[in-house]
Amino acid sequence: MKIAIAMLLTLLLLFSNSARGDEEAAIRAVLMNQQAAWNRGDIDGYLSGYWQSPKLRFASGAEVTYGYAETAARYRQRYDSKAKMGELKFELLEVQQLGEHSALVFGRWQLTRATDQPHGLFTLELEKFAEGWKVTRDHTSSGN
């Protein structure tokens, strides 16, 4: 009986670790899809990684923007050409699942443009919805 319980607990642990690995891969895929969209000059594709809600929170520099529509407008205003968008590279340093439907991502970003290479750090909170993982809170800082 004790052996059967130990085997069952081992199987449950293995399944749990496998499921977490699948979720981490899905979370990383959201950011890699955003990076690919950005590098195609597809701002709408990039924004598809964000939660389309008035409760979305985006903080950068000394500004906090609330809402998907407001965040999208901010991106479109600041990056209204492929030259301004440049080439984006994310380095995902850590994905930390907080629960079944919530995770934090810590990473670095860098843009390569003709005249500069801005870079910095980001902390994202993602939540899992029926349509998949979405960024619900974004705090991005610049190293320049």
Q: Which residues pair with 97 in a beta bridge?
A: 103
Q: How far is the CA of 56 from the CAs of 37, 59, 61, 74, 96, in angstroms?
A: 20, 10, 17, 13, 20
Q: Whole-angstrom Cα distance, residue 29 to residue 109?
A: 16
Q: Which two tokens stand for residue 13?
A: 């642990």
User: What is the residue-level pLDDT of the chain in tens, covering all 144 positions?
Assistant: 667 565 455 544 444 445 557 999 999 999 999 999 999 999 999 999 999 999 999 999 999 999 999 999 999 999 999 999 999 999 988 999 999 999 999 999 999 999 999 999 999 999 999 999 999 999 999 986
